[in-house]
């Protein structure tokens, strides 16, 4: 059996490793991770780090890991700052990932396991009597029995067959990475503000990331007029613990779609969606990378059992749990 995995990020690479180790023929399609490209999404809970170790996958528990431990969080959510330590977590420390290194090592592990790299962009995919063909921008055509959609929030490979879309309210993350800072607080910072809610952290490279989550109209204004974004950052109460506003004075904020999205069905005839292509989470959940890994594992099980109901139930339960917790957070942010 040949599996065509469209998307070479966290979910696609993790599934490629699992399948290639079983002896499957795997084509991993899409540009490989590039260390020069900054990506949002860098926290990993302890249980996910142990999952990686249990499956002999590269992760933050490796001796040569470039990732940092996160000692806890500081949150000013419609009130005074509250500190939380992760020392009591039964799974141990949480981790701040060097995201480019994390994705690159997973990608390399997939190739080492036997997956074949096809780094070009896919421009078309088509059903055939035997399965699928995928055409790359170079003109190369790949044939396979199973198509995996790991193309992220766009769900480009399977979107046209998935009419059951559930979208949460518009939410854009307007973010920037500042200059290297002298501050050393490695906790995760979150707080509500006048235009939305902020997330901030110190990246393993020593530079701070700040992201304001707001509505589409506000985001457009802040991207067009960066000084407004900077002025809102200067009003924050806990983010200055990881970086001074002046560390971002020359930054050019960028926007990223951050709303929660679920598309049904999650699996169909000879295709399956994993990671953000199945469920994309609001960043308040801090669950995107974990779900990418666990959905790869669930898809691996589906391939062995062909139990589509089990995979659908897994995705539905993830969405229900996340939606309930998200509602609690936003109710708290709007309470007096």
pLDDT tens digit sequence for 119-177: 988 999 999 998 999 999 999 999 999 999 999 999 999 999 998 889 999 999 999 99
Q: Is the pLDDT of residue 38 over 80?
A: no
pLDDT of residue 205: 86
Record the tokens describing residue 267, joined without a space.
């699996």
Residues 162-220 have pLDDT tens digits of: 988 899 999 999 999 999 888 889 999 999 999 999 999 999 988 999 999 999 999 99
pLDDT > 70: what percent of the chain? 98
Strands 271-273 and 82-85: unpaired
pLDDT of residue 336: 35
* 97-100: long-range contacts, CB 8 A cutoff, minimum separation 24: 97/42, 97/43, 97/44, 97/60, 97/67, 97/204, 97/289, 98/42, 98/66, 98/67, 98/203, 98/204, 98/205, 99/38, 99/39, 99/41, 99/42, 100/33, 100/34, 100/35, 100/36, 100/37, 100/38, 100/39
pLDDT of residue 240: 93
Domains for the chain: give ranges and CATH numbers: 2-32+99-166+260-334 (3.50.50.60), 44-96+170-258 (3.30.9.100)
């Amino acid at each position: 059996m040949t599996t065509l995995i469209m998307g070479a990020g966290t979910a696609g690479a993790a599934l490629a490793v699992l399948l290639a180790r079983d002896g499957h023929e795997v084509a991993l399609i899409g540009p490989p991770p590039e260390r020069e490209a900054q990506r949002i999404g860098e926290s990993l809970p302890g249980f996910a780090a142990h999952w990686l170790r249990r499956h002999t996958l590269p992760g933050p528990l490796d001796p040569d890991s470039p990732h940092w431990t996160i000692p806890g969080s500081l949150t000013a959510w419609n009130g005074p700052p509250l500190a939380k330590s992760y020392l009591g977590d039964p799974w141990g420390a949480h981790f701040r990932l060097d995201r480019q290194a994390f994705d690159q090592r997973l990608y390399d592990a997939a190739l080492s396991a036997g997956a074949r790299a096809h780094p070009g962009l896919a421009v078309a995919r088509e059903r055939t009597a035997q399965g699928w063909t995928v055409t790359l921008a170079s003109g190369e055509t790949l044939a396979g029995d199973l198509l995996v959609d790991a193309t992220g929030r766009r769900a480009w490979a399977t979107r046209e067959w998935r009419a059951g879309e559930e979208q949460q309210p518009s939410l854009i993350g307007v973010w920037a990475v500042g200059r290297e800072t002298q501050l050393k607080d490695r906790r995760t910072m979150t707080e509500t503000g006048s235009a939305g809610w902020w997330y901030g952290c110190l990246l393993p490279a020593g530079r701070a990331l700040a992201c304001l989550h707001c509505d589409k109209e506000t985001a457009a204004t802040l991207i067009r007029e960066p000084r407004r974004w900077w002025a809102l950052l200067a009003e924050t109460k806990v983010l200055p613990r990881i970086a001074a506003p002046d560390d971002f004075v020359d930054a050019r904020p960028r926007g990223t779609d951050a709303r929660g999205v679920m598309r049904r069905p999650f699996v169909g005839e000879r295709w399956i969606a994993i990671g953000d292509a199945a469920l994309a989470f609001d960043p308040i959940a801090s669950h995107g990378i974990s779900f990418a890994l666990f959905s790869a594992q669930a898809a691996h099980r589906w391939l062995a059992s062909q139990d589509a109901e089990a995979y659908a139930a897994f995705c539905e339960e993830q969405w229900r749990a996340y939606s309930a917790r998200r509602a609690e957070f936003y109710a708290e942010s709007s309470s007096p």
